[in-house]
Structure 1
Amino acid sequence: MSAVVYVRQSQDKTGNSAAVDRQERACRKLAEAKELADLTIYRDNDKSATSGKERPEFERLLRDVEAGRITIVIVWHLDRLTRSIRDLTRIIEAGQSHRISIASVNGVSLDLGDPTGVAVAHILTAIAAMEVAHKGNRQKAANRQRAEKGKAHWIRRPFGYQRDGEKVTIVPAEAKALRDAAKRVLAGETLASVVRVLNGAGHTSTTGGPWNVTSLRRALINPRNAKRRLYNGEDLGKGDWPRIFNKDTHRALEDKLNDPRRRTAPQDLSVKFLLSGICRCGKCGKAMFATTTKGPMVYRCFGGYCMTRRLDRVDEVVEGVVISVLSRPDAAAQFTGTEDAIKLRRLSLIHI
């Protein structure tokens, strides 16, 4: 191969690949105008260039550049290929022994084997990164404003509610199931027994899966059900939707289900994650535990659900600090006796 086409779309909400199809058609026309044939197409659909998640086709393209199989990359715009200096540097380094160029349908062509072309690529990528940052700040400000107005925001429909445009209404059957579950829990039934009732009655979560103890607990103590609007763990007041629980019921559920004395099952004390249950949320002070996401493992606040932090990055920082402290010549003398053991324990309650 020699000439290739790279197309990317950050979000494909419809699932029909329309955006990448349009990009590909435009890139093929440019290739035809340049009399380039036998194109190889690299398509990263529904892949962000700034989220940190892997773009499989971008990685394949880098390998082919490094192997000297590519001389020209055709893109709709440079920001479809990269929006970070880090990824641009990877492209330049991969092709450092092979002179490659980037041809854009909307933009200038860049020779990455020429210092001027590299400089222009850095400038354009820096501008793209700045635009991403500004867009993120604008979106955060808009989200905050919506939250302060009590507007609902969710990515996945929560059990008990449905939305038609801006209007949020209760799903009667689901709200009834939640109220019945709350009544049973407050009467002393275990979450496990209530889960069996829910699943036995044919109720599923909004993803279609069965209920479990964790998902039920989260649903019952979610402030949304009491008409409270939270933003990054901060209670901003009443939401503009109907409540499923009154204030007293919700508070009683929080008190009961957040009570540490409820942990009666035998615990596996083996260490699986360095800081799980040790690190504390910097906003609400509650413990954070390791959990999975669609991406990397994270530490998540299970008190106020305030934040998540990348597990590997937090562990790396903490391990570095601990190793540094314990490598000192006087390390052993620093932690002797009961009082120092208590101080060490306090230090271990890391806020992130």
Structure 2
Amino acid sequence: MAKPLDPKKIESARQYSSCAERREQRRKLMQDEIAENQRSNGVIVIPPKKLQEVQQERPKLRVAAYCRVSTQEEEQVGSFDMQVRHFTQRIEGNPDWELVEIYQDEGISATTVKKRLGFQKMIADAVDGKIDLILTKSISRFGRNIVDILDNLNVLSALNPPVSVEFETEHITYTGDGKNNLLIVLLSALAEMESQQKSEAIKAGIRWRMAEGIYKFSVQNTLGFYRDHFGRLVIEPTEARIVEYIYESYLEGATPSEIAAALTEQGIKSPMGNDSWSVGTVRSILRNEKYCGDALMQKTYTKDFRTHKSVKNTDLNMYFKENHHTAIIKKEDWLKVQKLLSERHTSPHKAKLRFLSNRFVAHRVKDGLFKGYLILDSRWSPAERQEFMKIVDDTQDNTK
């Protein structure tokens, strides 16, 4: 008998040989088929007719851009013009794009979208189906409030079809498919943090200028003052006469209510341009230290950088500078008004002296021989005259 075989070794070799041969055969067969196809000009690919029609009839992409700068300083104005020019050229230079509009907000803060009318119009046009793609410089240009950024992106992505937003600086296109959601959230948070840090830096600079007495406070709604093109505080003579009228009337015994009614009746517009005057407006003018040349700064401050809402300052330092600028009202007259405001607020007798039974007003003589005397109304009854004289006597006793 021959030597016994090793079945394991044999079967292993047979299986290896068989598998290797089969793989080699398949490889050779595939190569032969490819060579044959190449000799016969290969395979002709015929795309679906519907796809061809869609590609041929596909309309241009309707593209808009959003440009914004937060201030109207010269360097920012240049940046704004460059943004508009850049996006206009980019969109018009793409044959597959059609320019919808360059939406603009110049000199508007991005902390919230409430005041950004250009941004609001863009979102409204997108909702109306007028835009396919929005281009903007960066997430910080789109907004610096993470809630507003994400809310508006969700609005755009929920449209049918969705509107995409391309952020050039970050090289991100937001399509709402979830691919860039986390990155958008992180970058939006960074933009908001940057806005907060910038706000704190600006506030610190303002407070430093207040402490040094060089802060240029706003007089936009302050009657009688304006700032010239050098930033200097200047008296506006016509409006200053209104301020003088208010102080003179009050020192003569008229109430803020009477003064407001008189100004309204004369057709004088309020500091906000309204036809009617409010008692609060007259009272604030009477209490405003700027009219005697002083300046009390940081009476209000912005508590939340997101809302930009000013609140009465009860937490931070205030800064007072005496003789800060040219006065409209003499200091002694202004101090008299403050004393009267305080006394008439606490003394019922002096209140009655100024305004008797809501109908009869006692006026003081301004100048001449009878300067300082009170004029009695001829319509008063004897009882009312007696009451008036009693009030005068009581008032004089209280001032002794």
Alignment TM-score > 0.5, same fold:
yes
2:133 to 72, 84, 87: 72
Residues 2 and 37 of structure 1: CA distance in aligned 2, closer, same or farther (over 3 Å): closer
Structure ranking higher in helix proportion: 2
**Does 2:85 correspond to 1:25?**
yes
Pair 160,34 (structure 1): closer, same or farther in 2 beyond 3 Å: same
Judged with a 3 Å threshold, the aligned counterparts in structure 2 of structure 1 residues 182 and 228 are, in CA distance, closer, same or farther, namely: same
Cα separation, partners in 2 of 1:92 and 1:213, compared to 1, 3 Å: closer
Instruction: Report the structure number with the largest CA radius of gyration.
Output: 2
Counterparts in 2 of 1:251 and 1:51: CA distance versus 1, 3 Å: farther
TM-score (norm 2): 0.53
Aligned match for 1:250, one of 331, 334, 338 = 334
Counterpart AA for 1:237: F
Q: Matched residues in 2 for 1:56 and 1:143: separation?
A: 28
Change (3 A) 1:88 1:249: same
Work out the CA distance in 1 between the residues paired with 2:164 and 2:69: 24
Corresponding residue of 1:3: 62
**Compared with structure 1, are the counterparts of its residues 186 and 238 closer, same or farther at alpha carbon in structure 2 (3 Å cutoff)?**
same
2:217 to 136, 146, 153: 153
SS in structure 1 opposite 2:66?
strand
Change (3 A) 1:49 1:170: closer
Tell me the residue number matched to 1:241: 325
Residue 222 of structure 1, aligned match among 285, 288, 295: 288
Pairing 1:266-305 to 2, within 5 Å after superposition: none
Change (3 A) 1:39 1:65: same
Alpha-carbon shift at residue 211 of structure 1 (Å): 6.5
Shift of 1:186: 2.0
Note closer, same or farther for the CA distance 1:163–1:21 as it changes in structure 2 (3 Å cut): closer
**Structure 2 residues without counterparts, runs of 5 or longer:** 1-59, 301-312, 358-400
Count of matched residue positions in the alignment of Structure 1 and Structure 2? 265
**Which amino acid counterpart does residue 86 of structure 1 have in structure 2?**
V
For residue 333 of structure 2, what is the amino acid of its counterpart?
T
- Distance apart, 1:21 and its partner CA: 5.7
If the length of structure 1 is used for normalisation, what is the TM-score?
0.59
Return closer, same or farther for 1:7/1:255 CA change in 2, 3 Å cut-off: farther
2:244 maps to which residue? 179
- Which amino acid is the alignment partner of residue 142 of structure 1? G
1:40 maps to 2:100: yes
**1:86 paired to 2:139:** no
| 1:48-59 alignment, distance < 5 Å | 48-53=109-114, 55-59=116-120
* Cα offset, 1:53, TM superposition: 1.3
Which ranges in structure 1 are unaligned for 5 or more consecutive residues?
267-352
Structure 2 equivalent of residue 212 of structure 1 = 277
